[in-house]
Chains A and B, each alone.
Chain A
Amino acid sequence: TQLLEQSPQFLSIQEGENLTVYCNSSSVFSSLQWYRQEPGEGPVLLVTVVTGGEVKKLKRLTFQFGDARKDSSLHITAAQPGDTGLYLCAGVGNSGYALNFGKGTSLLVTP
């Protein structure tokens, strides 16, 4: 059972466009993390959101944690080809030891 549902599964856009990907769950998490994974590499942590309603910005990326700490979104402004990759959200349970990953959103940004 996948606790976290990510949408869309695939996204292909042109350079300069904006996009939003979503991560939804019926479970409450103590925190939620976003990762980006490029082909042939392991996932790399982008951000951790902890507080319900929290918004964090990382250059052109904006992350939001839902008030109920069950969902999150990632918004990318003016996407660039370097943003291409698999974006994964992961919920951190109460134990803090295991991450529950969504299946990811595969993003392709073409010049």
Chain B
Amino acid sequence: KAGVTQTPRYLIKTRGQQVTLSCSPISGHRSVSWYQQTPGQGLQFLFEYFSETQRNKGNFPGRFSGRQFSNSRSEMNVSTLELGDSALYLCASSRTGSGNTIYFGEGSWLTVV
């Protein structure tokens, strides 16, 4: 079956702009979580959604937001981009999120200039 699909794979944005990243989970998976990966901080949890509801949120500013649609697809948005937002953004899906294996997508590389 198809894996977790993230779009776009690469993008460059300017400081102050906003960006929306998309994630299509594995079919049948209802939990989608987002992570930010940087060389300095490693992988950090952003938030997790299940059945269109945010169940858990990491320690990121309010500029980072997300949502999940009825078909389990998810988007995350970063507003007022800063240089430090340059990172690999990873989406992961699982059946229910708790105790299930999670599967990561290949990520979206965001560069802020």
Q: Which residues of A contact B (CB under 8 A)?
A: 2, 40-45, 48, 88, 90, 95-104
- Tell whether, in the assembled complex, residue A97 and residue B42 are in contact, meaning their CB atoms are under 8 Å apart: no
- Tell whether, in the assembled complex, residue A2 and residue B43 are in contact, meaning their CB atoms are under 8 Å apart: no
A95-B98, A96-B98, A97-B55 known; A42+B104 contact, CB < 8 A: yes
Chain B contact residues, majority secondary structure: strand
- Tell whether, in the assembled complex, residue B106 and residue A95 are in contact, meaning their CB atoms are under 8 Å apart: no
- Tell whether, in the assembled complex, residue A99 and residue B45 are in contact, meaning their CB atoms are under 8 Å apart: yes
A42-B106, A42-B107 known; A97+B97 contact, CB < 8 A: yes
- Tell whether, in the assembled complex, residue A2 and residue B42 are in contact, meaning their CB atoms are under 8 Å apart: yes
Minimal Cβ-Cβ distance residue in A for B91 = A42
- Tell whether, in the assembled complex, residue B97 and residue A96 are in contact, meaning their CB atoms are under 8 Å apart: yes
Chain A contact residues, majority secondary structure: loop
A97-B33, A98-B48, A101-B44 known; A45+B56 contact, CB < 8 A: no
- Beyond the given A97-B33, A104-B43, please list 16 additional residue pairs across the A-B interface where CB-CB is below 8 A: A2-B42, A41-B107, A42-B4, A42-B104, A45-B101, A48-B101, A90-B43, A96-B97, A97-B31, A97-B50, A98-B45, A99-B33, A99-B102, A102-B42, A103-B42, A104-B42
Give Cα A100 to B41, complex, Å. Answer: 12
> Which residues from chain A contact B45 at a C-beta distance below 8 Å?
98-101
- Tell whether, in the assembled complex, residue B43 and residue A101 are in contact, meaning their CB atoms are under 8 Å apart: yes
Q: Which of B33, B50, B90, B104 contacts A98 (CB 8 A)?
A: B33
- Tell whether, in the assembled complex, residue A98 and residue B102 are in contact, meaning their CB atoms are under 8 Å apart: no
How far in angstroms is the closest Cβ of chain B from A24?
15
Give Cα A40 to B6, complex, Å. Answer: 13
